[in-house]
A and B are shown apart, each in its own frame.
Chain A
Amino acid sequence: MKHLLISRIESLYHTMLRIRRVEEAIAGHYPMQEMRCPVHLSIGQEAVAAGVCAALRQQDGVFSNHRAHAHYLAKGGSLTAMLAEIYGKAEGCCKGIGGSMHMIDLAAGFLGAVPIVGATVPLAVGAAWAAKLRGEDKVITVFFGDGTFEEGAVYESINFAVLHRLPVLFVCENNLYACYTRLSTRQPDRPIHTVATACGCKAVTADGNDALAVFDAASSAVADLRAGGYPVFLECSTYRWREHCGPNMDDDLDYRPKTEVAAWKAACPVSRLAKILGTLDEGQNFMAHAEREISAEINTAFAGALAGGIPQQTDLPGYLYA
């Protein structure tokens, strides 16, 4: 039992550290002006992606939004294809058509991420509906932010999912802000998940900076869904460390209280598990090894992405229609 828990912690830690180091590397390379597209980094929010995706199987589907890197990587999306896409290369996951805001890796069950806020929530319900109609053993998850919860299509989607008892997990990453606007400027003072409850959806919460807590909540939700239960809404509280869009810190803009930023950084999801692993010899070895292995993987992936080919404009019309 104890061993199982440790290997779970190790695996969640590895997923989060990998996301963290990839995002840091993107931020590091961005000023060279070769990644010529918007990037929305997930640094600080790794536990939600890691915890939820650890509860899923490869054939389960995931949809995401503008801030998709963590979800894509946690679901098993190809790192090289993601970086190549951000570099606008032919080997990118959308062959350069999409950039950072348009991730897809169908082999990994990552069904698509696009930047129109709320756009993928109904798609997830539709995918879950299809799975049910086709009798497939599949759960569909959609990640979206607190701001996205304001879009009408989200309520319409929850309503239909509950009505038809569809195997869909709604994961709301509540990082308290939509761009520079605080939640309290956009929504009344009540927890987001209670609105899902009022729609007849089962709703649960988890500390979004605690990957184990997210994993536990997601696992029991997914077990319910596989058993034919009602859709589940999982609200995870977390925090974005860097600017809404771009590689930098933006604390100079003063839109978030300094004490708030400091408190969330102190609750770093990666350090949280590192602390547990650090008390064990085995854990220390694991972390040192993970750091080396991930660093090597990232170097190789960046080199691979940068060496990628130039996509051809003449290929574009061919993608317009099936």
Chain B
Amino acid sequence: MPETIRKITQAEAIREALEQAMTEDERVILIGEGVPDPKGVFGTTSGLQERFGMARVFDMPLAENGMTGICIGAAISGMRPVMVHQRIDFALLCMDQLVNNAAKWHYMFAGQASVPLVVRVIVGRGWGQGPQHAQSLQAMFAHVPGLKVVMPSSGYDAKGMLLAAIRDDNPVIFIEHRWLHGIIDEVPTMPYTVQLDKAAIRRHGKDATIAAFSFMVVEALLAAKALADLGIDLEVIDARAVRPLDMTTIIESVTRTGTLIVADTSWKTGGIAGEVVAGVTETAFNSLRRPPLRVALPDIPAPTSPHLTKDYYPDALHLARAIVNHLGATIPDAELVSRLSRSTPHDIPQREFCGPF
């Protein structure tokens, strides 16, 4: 089959990765609440039970912790389970199994068994998802040695990294973002992999490095484009991996730009942005021309009311303002506002969206 590239949504790219992984390896099984239902986990699992049958694609009881252990048991016994949770918040119930067993099985039994498990978790946002349905918990997972944690932003990477995660012999936490699912990208039809431990430079620039995670890559690129018109040339790095963090790419960039700005989808305190800052200051302190800056969520849980979420999530405009301020540039705010004000309500990903998630 000739290699073709076409434009599909990230949700479709994820679905395609699952389909190709199940085709190439019969040990791959897929399980999660709602996997075979008419909504198919936001379209990411649609049609897979029809294609691969009831013996490989499963719905599951609402029993996240026990089911995680059951998947780990299957993984150490010759299967390669892919588990999915519609919100990352629900995976908090799995923490005991993930942290105590999945992350340590290979290590504590001195390499005699491994856990080839992928746990897909989706970060919710918008339309009043609120305190228990909109958390972005990458730092909690990334704190745990033995887990691999990734957060692709592009559809191309989502497909390639999911295929790589399923082929990997270790537990991988695969973090998706609900606002990325609908974004269209050029994705090859054939199976391919993208490394699980490598950041990507999305835009080259000389004035400052922005290391961004997940949906913040979208916002960072918007901000960079607008600021380019105004004379600020930003380098945008898509971190892609959360554990292990690809500090090499980030440090190499900072040594050229002299400025580090980290844009994260989660809370500031104890977050992954702080880890990036620590890594740069430990090894490339002398390259820094000014203090590093973290652009992250305020240290409060997501509220529900749209009146309260208005400035909760930093978007491209917030980011651009923070950058201008940090660089001490003299750009009138009106210039930023005219270029970066959203034309859609702040709490929905696309204009067509009319709730609920």
A contacts, CB < 8 Å to B: 30-31, 33, 36-39, 88-89, 92, 94, 96-102, 114-119, 147-148, 150-152, 178-181, 185-187, 245-246, 253-255, 310-311, 313, 316-317, 320
Q: Which residue of B lies closest to A31 (CB)?
A: B354
Instruction: Count contacts on B: residues with CB < 8 A to the other chain.
Output: 40
Write the chain A residue with the least CB distance to B353: A33
Residues of A within 8 A of B38 (CB): 180, 253-255
Least CB distance, A64 to chain B, in whole angstroms = 14
| B305 A245 Cβ-Cβ under 8 A | no
| Contact (A36, B130) CB under 8 Å given A181-B33, A254-B38, A320-B300 | no
Q: State A313–B300 Cα separation when bound (angstroms).
A: 11
The residue on B at minimum CB distance from A33 is B354
A97 touching B34, Cβ below 8 Å: no
A148 to B93 alpha-carbon distance, docked (Å): 13
B107 an interface residue at 8 Å Cβ cutoff? no
B37 within 8 A of A: yes
CB < 8 Å neighbour of B90 from A100, A114, A116: A116
Contact assessment for B130 and A99 in the assembled complex, using a CB-CB cutoff below 8 Å = yes
- 17 A-B pairs, CB-CB below 8 angstroms? A30-B355, A33-B355, A37-B127, A38-B129, A38-B355, A97-B130, A97-B308, A101-B132, A115-B130, A115-B133, A178-B33, A179-B34, A179-B37, A180-B37, A180-B38, A181-B37, A246-B355
Q: Is the CB of A117 within 8 A of B62?
A: yes
Is B128 an interface residue, CB under 8 A from the partner?
Answer: yes
Which chain B residues border A31 with CB–CB below 8 Å?
354
CA distance A31 to B356 in the complex (A): 10
Q: A152-B66, A255-B38 known; A96 and B304 CB under 8 Å?
A: yes
Cα distance A116–B133 in the bound complex, in angstroms: 8
User: Cβ of B168 < 8 Å from any Cβ of A?
Assistant: no
Please tell me if the beta carbons of A316 and B66 are within 8 angstroms of each other in the complex. no
Q: Mark B30-45 against chain A: 1 for CB-CB distance below 8 A, else 0.
A: 0001100111000000
Please report the C-alpha to C-alpha distance between residue A170 and residue B127 in the assembled complex, in whole angstroms: 32
- Nearest residue in B to A30 (C-beta to C-beta)? B355
Extra contacts besides A97-B303, A246-B356, A316-B308 (7): CB < 8 Å: A36-B305, A38-B133, A115-B130, A116-B89, A185-B59, A311-B305, A313-B311
Residues of B within 8 Å of A102, CB to CB, are: 130-131, 304
The interface residues of chain B lying within 8 Å CB-to-CB of A94 are 304
State in angstroms the CA–CA spacing of A96 and B305 once bound together: 5
Majority SS of interface residues in chain B?
A: loop
Whole-angstrom distance between the Cβ of B124 and the nearest chain A Cβ: 10
When C-beta atoms are compared, the residue in chain B nearest to A180 turns out to be B37
In the docked arrangement, what's the CA distance between A201 and B39, Å? 37
Residue B70 interfacial (CB < 8 Å):
no
Q: A118-B62, A148-B62 are in contact. Are A96 and B307 (CB under 8 A)?
A: yes
Q: What residues on B are CB-neighbors of A253 within 8 Å?
A: 38-39
Task: Give, as a whole number of angstroms, the nearest-CB distance from A319 to chain B.
Answer: 8
Inter-chain contact A88/B356, CB cutoff 8 Å? no
**Most chain A CB inside 10 Å of its own CB: which residue of B34, B65, B132, B307:** B307
Which B residues are within 8 Å of any A CB, using their own CB?
A: 33-34, 37-39, 59-66, 89-90, 93, 127-133, 298-300, 303-308, 310-312, 347, 354-357
Report chain A residues within 8 Å CB of B357.
38
Please determine whether A186 and B37 come into contact, CB atoms closer than 8 angstroms. Answer: no
- Is A97 touching B305 in the complex (CB atoms < 8 A)? yes
Does B308 lie within 8 Å of A96, measured CB to CB? yes
Contact (Cβ within 8 A) B34 A99: no
Which residues of A sit under 8 angstroms from B93, Cβ to Cβ?
116, 151
- A247 nearest CB across to chain B (Å): 9
A310's nearest neighbour on chain B, judged by CB, is B307
Cβ–Cβ < 8 Å partners of A115 in chain B: 130, 132-133
Question: In the complex, A30 Cα to B356 Cα: how many Å?
Answer: 10
B303 and A96 contact, CB distance less than 8 A: yes
A319's nearest neighbour on chain B, judged by CB, is B300
- Out of B61, B65, B127, B299, name the residue touching A38 (CB < 8 Å): B127
- Complex CA–CA separation, A88 to B66 (angstroms): 36
Assembly CA distance A187 to B63 (angstroms): 11
Q: What are the residues of chain B within 8 A of A178 when measuring CB–CB? A: 33, 62
For B308, list chain A residues within 8 Å (CB). Answer: 88, 96-97, 311, 313, 316
CB of B33 within 8 A of CB of A179, answer yes
B35 to chain A, nearest CB (A): 9
CB distance from A154 to the nearest CB of B (A): 10
Given contacts A37-B127, A179-B34, contact A99 B61 (CB under 8 A): no
Selected from A100, A150, A180, the residue in CB contact (under 8 A) with B63 is A150
B residues near A245, Cβ cutoff 8 Å: 356
The answer for the CA separation of A30 and B347 in the assembled complex, in Å, is 16
A98 adjacent to B59 (CB under 8 Å): no
* Closest beta carbon of chain A to B189's beta carbon, Å: 29
A310 to B309: give the CA distance in the assembly, Å. Answer: 12
- Shortest distance from the beta carbon of A285 to any chain B beta carbon, whole Å: 40
Q: Which residues of B contact A179 (CB under 8 A)?
A: 33-34, 37
Q: Within the assembled complex, what's the spacing in Å between the Cα atoms of A180 and B39?
A: 8
Whether the Cβ atoms of B356 and A39 lie closer than 8 Å is yes
Complex Cα gap A59–B195 (Å): 59
With both beta carbons as reference points, the residue of chain A lying nearest to B355 in the complex is identified as A36
> Could you tell me if B127 and A150 are in contact, using CB atoms closer than 8 angstroms?
no
Residue contact A99 to B33, C-beta cutoff 8 Å: no
Residues of B within 8 A of A313 (CB): 303, 307-308, 310-312
A180 touches B34 (CB 8 A): yes
